[in-house]
C-alpha cells in the first residue's frame, strides 16, 4: 500500500512537472489571448531568442520589433557573454530583418553578485508556490543581479506569486535593492 502511494505521488509530481514544463516553454507574456501568428516577425524573433543555448535564469533578453528593425536589450551574465552575439546573429538571419540594434548588456563578473544569484535562486524557487516557475527550458522568473542590486523579470500567474517573489528576494542578505518587474500573465 505504501509503495503504491509513493508511486502515485511520483507520477502526480511528474505530471505537474510536465505541465509546468510545457507552460514554461512558451512564456505567458507572449502567449496572450487568441492565436499567435507564427509567420510574424515578432514570433520569429521570440522563438530565436528563447532557443539560444546559453540563455538561462540569470539572463534577461528583451526585444522590440519596429517594422524590419529589431532592437535587442536586456542583460546576460559574463559567463554567457556569447549569448549577446548569438542573439544578434540569430535575429539578423531572419527573413524580413534589415537592421539589428544590440543593446544587450554583459554584466561584470563579480563574485559577490554570483553569491547573491545563488542565494536568490535558492530563496525564490524553494518556495512551494514559486518552484514551478523554474521548470522548463527557460524559467519564467529571471533573476538579474548587477552590483548587488536585484531585478526580477518575467511572468507569473497572479499577484500573490508576484508579491511572494518580491518579498522572498528582499529577504536575501547583502542585497542592496530589489526591483520587481514581474508581470502577471
C-alpha 12/C-alpha 23 separation (Å) is 17
141-146 and 60-66 as β-strands: parallel, antiparallel, unpaired? unpaired
Whole-prediction pTM: 0.77
- Under 8 Å between Cβ of 146 and 169: no
pLDDT tens digits along 46-94: 999 999 998 999 999 999 999 999 999 999 999 989 999 999 999 999 9
Domains present along the chain, CATH in parentheses = 1-34+110-185 (3.30.1340.30), 37-106 (3.30.1340)
Take residue 107 and report the three cell numbers written for it. Answer: 554584466
The number of C-alpha atoms within 13 Å of 76 and in the hemisphere containing its C-beta is 24
Low-confidence ranges of the chain (pLDDT < 50): 1-35
Among positive and negative, which fits the CA dihedral 115, 175, 133, 62?
Answer: negative
- Under 8 Å between Cβ of 154 and 139: yes
Amino acid at each position: 500500500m505504501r509503495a503504491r502511494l509513493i508511486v502515485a505521488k511520483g507520477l502526480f509530481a511528474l505530471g505537474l512537472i510536465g505541465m509546468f514544463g510545457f507552460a514554461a516553454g512558451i512564456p505567458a507574456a507572449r502567449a496572450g489571448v487568441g492565436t499567435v501568428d507564427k509567420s510574424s516577425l515578432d514570433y520569429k524573433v521570440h522563438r530565436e531568442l528563447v532557443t539560444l543555448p546559453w540563455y538561462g535564469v540569470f539572463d534577461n533578453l528583451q526585444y522590440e520589433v519596429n517594422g524590419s528593425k529589431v532592437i535587442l536589450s536586456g542583460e546576460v551574465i559574463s559567463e554567457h557573454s556569447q549569448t549577446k552575439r548569438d542573439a544578434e546573429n540569430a535575429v539578423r538571419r531572419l527573413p524580413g530583418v534589415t537592421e539589428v540594434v544590440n543593446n544587450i548588456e554583459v554584466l561584470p563578473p563579480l563574485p559577490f553578485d554570483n553569491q547573491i544569484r545563488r542565494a536568490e535562486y535558492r530563496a525564490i524557487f524553494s518556495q512551494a508556490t514559486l518552484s514551478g516557475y523554474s521548470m522548463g527550458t527557460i524559467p519564467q522568473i529571471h533573476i538579474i543581479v548587477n552590483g548587488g542590486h536585484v531585478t526580477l523579470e518575467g511572468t507569473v500567474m497572479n499577484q500573490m506569486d508576484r508579491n511572494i517573489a518580491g518579498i522572498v528576494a528582499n529577504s536575501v542578505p547583502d542585497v542592496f535593492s530589489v526591483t520587481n518587474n514581474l508581470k502577471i500573465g
